[in-house]
Every structure is written in C-alpha cells, then in structure tokens.
Amino acid sequence: MHTALDETGSLAESLTRKRRGGWKDSLVARFIFLNGIAAIVAVALIFVFLLKEAIPLFKTVSLWRFLSGTTWLPDQNQFGLVPLLIGSLFVTVGAVIIAVPLGIACAVYLAEVAPRPVREILKPTIEVLAGIPSVVIGFIGLMIAAPFIQNLFRLPIGLTALTGSIMLAFMSMPTIISISEDAIVAVPKSYRDGSLALGASRWETIRGVVVPAARSGIIAACMLGVGRAVGETMTVLMVTGNASNLPNGLLGVPAYFFGPVRTMTATVALEMGDTVQNSPHYYALFAVGLALFAITFAVNLVADLALRRTRH
C-alpha cells in the first residue's frame, strides 16, 4: 500500500537520482575514475615489469653478487652494480655541490632581492634552461665543455665525471630554483615584518627568518634536483666517457673525478641496443633499471614528504 509519505520519499529519491544524472553520469564517473588511476597503474606496471624482467638474472648471479660486485663485464657474465652506482653517485654529488648553493642563492635573490627588471629576465631564462632538451645540453658539453675542461686541467680526455657534474648541475638548477623560490615566497610577510621591526637588517631577516622558515621546501627542491640528476641519461651518456672504473681508494677520488666514469643510466642506454632478449645481460640491464627506479622513487618520496610539511 502506498502512503503519501512513501510517495514523497520516492519522489525525492528520483529527483536526486535525476540530479546525479542516472546511468549516464555514473558511467562517465566510472570512466573518469579509470583514467584518474592511470598514474597508479603506470607506476605499478613499470615496477612489476622491471621486476619480472630483472628477477631471472638472479639465477645467473646472486642478488648479493649483483649488489656488491665490483666488476661490470657483460661479456664474462659479471654483473656487479657497484662501479655503475659509484659512477652515478659521484656525478650526482658533483652536480649537487655546484647546483645546490648556486640554486638556493639564485632563489633567494629572485624572491627577496632582485629588482623587477632583473626578475623579468631571470625567470624566462630559467624556463628556457628547463626546456633545453638533454641531448642538446649533451651536445654542447661534448663540443664546448669537454675540450675546455681537457685544456684547463691538461687531461688526456675531456669526457670526465666532472664534465658530467657541471652539465648536470645546470640541468637541475631550474628545478632547485623554482621550487625553492615558491617556498621562500610562501613565507608569510608578517615573519619578515616582525624581524625587521626588531631591528634586523634585510639580510639578517633572510638568513635568520625567511630561509629557515622555507627550509622544508628548499630541502624538497634539492631532493628533486638530485632525482633529476640521478636519472638524467643523454647528457651523462654523451659527456662522461662511459668507462666503468672504480676510485682507487679514498686518495683516488680526485683522480676519479677527472677521469671517465660510467653511470647506471648510461649503461642501460649504451648496452640495451646490443643485447639479446632473455640473456643474462638483458636481465641485468633491467635489474639496473629497477635499481634506478627504486633510487628515484625513494628520492621523490622524501621530497614529497618535505613539500607536504611546508603546506601545513
């Protein structure tokens, strides 16, 4: 039996259903959701696929031998990650030493000091730098930077870890500058006013108040810059010489910087084309890819956490 209340109830219900658009809208909503999770699917797919192609390597070489092995000689089935990891590490550390102080200084200058006309030149310049394809930077490194460094330090060859670090430093600058600048600009004006009112100079305010307040954002910026440097392929491939060496003890570190090195990214790029599918070498290159994926994933995760902290 129908009562009036029932009827109004069902009327309201059908109205809301109409508002939501019924089956068509819910179908669209489902479709949109499927696209919404595309990024999750992509990351998961990449991870699973790399894992699937890397695991068979450990029938030939144990996981421990892969992670701790100090020789990378694919012809002799020796797949030790250490020289490649050290190569990536040194090139990245070199880039960080150059790019982080310079990038933060540039961000502080842009956000706090630069007069308007300078800012209007600097900002598009940074955007242009961010846009230059890595293969073009590698080309310039090869044609200009490598001979320059070879002459400057009287080296037998200009394709060195140092050359790579310098080029990578410039490539990671836009990331470091723009994200640090955002963090510095986001510091409330009242902080600066308070500090200035207490008699601090502008520089003292920047150093003692503004930069510390923007710390998490600046850390995130540097981490993202590191991530960019670790994963960069073409530039490094073109300018670091690609010899898989190890530093000769602690004293050998400077010599290592001035000699050719081979990074993880460059190894994959160089060797993937010549390898046979489903050979140990093929699996080993996927294992290197997996290691790269893991490293950049961790770096980005830390950066993301730091950025989240700045927003609260």
String of contacts with another protein for each residue 175-214, x by CB under 8 A:
--x-----------------------xxxx----------
Q: Considering only 150-158, 189-197, 248-256, 288-296, which stretch makes contact with another protein by CB under 8 A?
A: 288-296
| Options 24, 189, 311, 312; binder of another protein; rule CB under 8 A | 24
Min CB(248)–another protein separation in Å: 27
d(CA 150, CA 144): 10
Amino acid identity at 10 = S
Half-sphere exposure of 120 (CA within 13 A, CB side): 3
Min CB(143)–another protein separation in Å: 7
Residue 144 engages another protein in binding (rule: CB under 8 A): yes
Residue 113 engages another protein in binding (rule: CB under 8 A): yes
Continuous segment of H or E residues that includes residue 256: helix 253-257
Min CB(151)–another protein separation in Å: 17
Closer residue to another protein in complex, CB, 5/39: 39
Closer residue to another protein in complex, CB, 131/249: 131
Residue 50 engages another protein in binding (rule: CB under 8 A): yes
Residue 38 engages another protein in binding (rule: CB under 8 A): yes
Closer residue to another protein in complex, CB, 131/156: 131
**Which residue shows structure tokens 């600097």?**
122
Q: How far is CA 67 from CA 16, 56, 63, 81, 239, in A?
A: 59, 15, 6, 5, 26
d(CA 239, CA 220): 28
| Options 51, 128, 198, 255; binder of another protein; rule CB under 8 A | 128
Residue 36 engages another protein in binding (rule: CB under 8 A): yes
Residue 97 engages another protein in binding (rule: CB under 8 A): no
Reading the block at residue 231, the tokens are 């994963």
Amino acid identity at 41 = V
Bridge partners of 73? 78
- Burial class of residue 121 (count of CB atoms within 10 Å of its CB; 0-12, 13-18, 19+): exposed
